[in-house]
Chains A and B, each alone.
Chain A
């Protein structure tokens, strides 16, 4: 059924159609609308049987999900940003225990300075925690990925994170095709756990493992993620068969035919990139786009194949490995058969900074003209940065960094005089 709804509402509907049995959440922008909607559905009985637990922190949210999942219930939670960091210990634990929890991450920057707007720093901070990480390009895909996430996670006994850009997707009203319960039921069978806390068949879950077997346990987690690389395309095909549309999968190529320059990105910015590439293609530029839907496990072989014809790669990412540069680009470099020197990193959109077609066209053109630096910060105001650096050189007590920048911008009077 076609509906014009907010991204959060679409995701809440999708999650509800997956018949979750325990939902726990702690509010954080921009995740709130999703769990508010689910809470209402549980209160009104539209989503039943389901327990909705208002927990006291994100750490508790993931911990409740761990308990519920280990007891055989389909468990769901959602968070973002600081919330994801606050639950980090439990995020790793859920993966280590092999519990197929599904979590939406409404991607948001991480402070300090506190910032509620979108980038991918939160999800990237957990990239090696053992969860599968799927990134949605638009609200339809966000909705679809949640349905696939439950199927995939439960098949593998692995938790799945569905990442969708905060505000840009969560708060955007778009047309989405809401599936029927019948379709979802056909795709997603009831959860049959591999391990469960059952008095009729008692097991110990989460025992201590020493050096004699820890490597093997970690390897099994790796092996499962490698299995996901097979299953994700298979389940995307199955999804297409039942729902009649393409969604998910490992990667999405766009106008890659004859592309010498390929832009790699994940999330909603792919829309802007595709528009830019369309314009540049019209002007004869041989440029294409590679969207990464599945960031963990990293689809090494698929990316390598997709980039086989590229003579230059531009990775545009909304995250920064401070002191290094790109995070996604590191993975792309490892997958690119050509020289790593030909992989450019463009850090863009941190803390919700707008990514415009004009700016994109500029860096893509520079890349094609071989004048793009290996690491570029899109639309960075170097004048402000340099003035702050100068002041720090001159003055020991130069003051709080964020406030110094805001004062430069003339926005806030953090200090009078």
Chain B
């Protein structure tokens, strides 16, 4: 790992404090040379996690590739808010083709660069969880299986937010969307296997898979940089809270992402060639209620008598993640 987590002496956190670091350890985003790949002036909602994640991820990819980067974008919020005619926020070569084919378009760009001898030009394909887990799943799996030289980034906000908040196969169980309304006996999105995309990516034995959240942006930057050290198919899954779809305050985007990680609901880890190699430990384990309660999409679980049974099942999912990915330090687990 080229990235070393830095614990600041005052707080023991990973936040802020670039000025205390030597240049090479400062974040890409804090650097005056950052490329602003996704420039200001776009039409994302206030507090949009996807805009934040994309800005950090693509700027980091630009830095890592010496600015030789091309991006393919699936249809979705990111595409719509960044390129309303006649404007574009993209400062990099960028193409939007369809909802379900970003990975395959990435493959095509990568093949073209290879045939032209432009081995320095790297390719990112990106989409939301719908464009990745559902409609684009075939193309994504094909790209993984062929091990095409593409970094695919999924911005997961747990639903089809661009079309007005409908359920995707990445919508968490218990969540309210406009197609999983908690009415009558229904308690929102059903419990099931879901689609654990990072695990599915790992099952393809591709060189690099990582998850990240917009709460730990330096970690995200480091993972993008690490991804660019590999050739072949790579996958980064970023949890990006959506104030509109999740029903939380715009100012709480980072807090929501952090709570998703700290409760164990969203495990943050890296895997190389099919095996998990690194896990971001939970610093202070929190109950899932802390994550669920600030979000309107889970409000029905706490209304009146509430649905402690459902909350309990969600807690079990978090606990399973904690066991599966060993998210707690051994000391804390014993305690």
Which A residues are closer than 8 A to B by beta carbons? 21-22, 24, 49-51, 53-57, 59-60, 63-73, 75, 89-90, 93, 97, 197-199, 201-210, 212-213
Nearest B residue to A97, CB-CB: B97
Residues of B within 8 A of A68 (CB): 108-109, 111-112
| Given A54-B146, A57-B138, A206-B97, A67:B85 Cβ within 8 A | no
Docked Cα-Cα span, A97 to B108, in Å, equals: 15
Given A21-B116, A60-B104, A199-B68: A205 in contact with B111 (beta carbons within 8 A): no
Chain A residues within 8 Å of B94, by CB: 197, 202-205
Interface size on B, residues (CB 8 A): 46
Q: Are A51 and B86 in contact (CB under 8 A)?
A: no
Within 8 A of A (CB), among B57-114: 67-70, 72-73, 79-80, 83-86, 88, 90-98, 100-101, 104-114
Contact A204 B88 (CB under 8 A): yes
- When distances are taken between beta carbons in the complex, the residues of chain B under 8 Å from A97 are 95, 97
B97 and A204 form a contact (CB under 8 A): no
B142: Cβ under 8 A from any A Cβ: yes
- Asked if residues A22 and B69 are in contact (CB atoms below 8 Å), the reply is no
**B329: interface (CB < 8 Å):** no
Q: How far is the CA of A199 from the CA of B116 in the complex (A)?
A: 14
Q: Are B115 and A67 in contact (CB under 8 A)?
A: no
* Beta-carbon contact of B90 and A202 below 8 Å: yes
Tell whether, in the assembled complex, residue A67 and residue B68 are in contact, meaning their CB atoms are under 8 Å apart.
no
List B residues at the A interface (Cβ < 8 Å). 67-70, 72-73, 79-80, 83-86, 88, 90-98, 100-101, 104-117, 121, 138-139, 141-142, 145-146, 148
- Return A85 CB to nearest CB of chain B, in Å: 15
Residue among B73, B86, B105 with the highest chain A CB neighbour number at 10 A: B105
> Contact: B142 with A73, CB < 8 Å?
no
Q: CB within 8 A of A208: which of B70, B84, B115?
A: B84
A-B contact count (CB 8 A): 162
Q: A24-B108, A207-B83 are in contact. List 20 more A-B contacts (CB 8 A).
A: A22-B108, A51-B112, A51-B114, A51-B115, A53-B107, A57-B139, A63-B107, A64-B105, A64-B111, A67-B72, A67-B95, A69-B108, A70-B108, A72-B112, A199-B67, A202-B92, A202-B93, A202-B94, A208-B84, A210-B85
Nearest B residue to A49 via CB reads B115
Q: Check A199 against B108 for contact (C-beta < 8 Å).
A: no
Assess A208 versus B85: contact at CB under 8 Å? Given A22-B115, A60-B142, A66-B105.
Answer: yes
9 residue pairs from A and B, CB less than 8 Å apart: A22-B111, A22-B115, A60-B104, A60-B138, A63-B98, A63-B104, A206-B95, A206-B97, A207-B88
For B146, list chain A residues within 8 Å (CB).
53-54
Q: In the bound complex, do residue A67 and residue B97 qualify as a contact, i.e. CB atoms below 8 Å apart?
A: yes
CB distance from B54 to the nearest CB of A (A): 14
A55 vs B111: C-alpha distance when bound (angstroms) = 12
Question: Do B109 and A63 have beta carbons less than 8 Å apart?
Answer: no
**Cα distance A63–B83 when bound, in Å?**
20
Given contacts A51-B115, A66-B108, contact A56 B142 (CB under 8 A): yes
A59 adjacent to B100 (CB under 8 Å):
yes
Min CB distance A2 to B, Å, is 32
Q: List residues of chain B with CB within 8 A of the CB of A209.
A: 85
Beyond A199-B67, A206-B97, A208-B85, is A21–B107 a contact (Cβ under 8 Å)?
no
Q: What residues of A have a CB within 8 angstroms of the CB of B101 in the complex?
A: 59-60, 63, 66, 90
Q: Least Cβ distance of A412 to chain B in Å?
A: 33
Whether A73 and B111, one on each chain, are in contact in the complex, defined by CB atoms closer than 8 angstroms, is yes
Complex contacts, A212 vs chain B, CB 8 Å: 85
Contact B96 A56 (CB under 8 A): no
Q: Do the beta carbons of A73 and B95 come within 8 Å of each other?
A: no
On chain B, the residues within 8 Å of A69 by CB distance are 108, 112
Q: In the bound complex, how far is the Cα of B117 from the Cα of A90, in angstroms?
A: 27
CB distance from A254 to the nearest CB of B (A): 41
The answer for the CA separation of A73 and B107 in the assembled complex, in Å, is 13
| CB <8 Å contact, B138 and A197 | no
User: Nearest CB to that of B67 among chain A residues?
Assistant: A199
Bound: A21/B69 CA distance, A = 20
Selected from B67, B70, B96, B111, the residue in CB contact (under 8 A) with A51 is: B111
Q: How far is the CA of A204 from the CA of B85 in the complex (A)?
A: 11
A21 contacts B104, C-beta separation under 8 Å: no
Q: Is the CB of B139 within 8 A of A203?
A: no
Chain B residues with Cβ below 8 Å from A65 are 108
- State A255–B14 Cα separation when bound (angstroms): 84
Inter-chain contacts of A90 with B (CB < 8 A):
97-98, 101
A59, A71, A93: the one contacting B109 at CB < 8 Å is A71
A24 CA / B80 CA spacing, docked (Å):
29
Residue of A nearest to B65 (CB): A199
Residues on B with C-beta less than 8 A from A53 are: 107-108, 111, 146, 148
How far is A64 from B80 in the complex, measured between Cα atoms in Å? Answer: 22
Smallest beta-carbon distance A241→chain B, Å = 31
Chain B residues within 8 Å of A198, by CB? 93
CA separation between A49 and B113, bound complex, in Å? 11
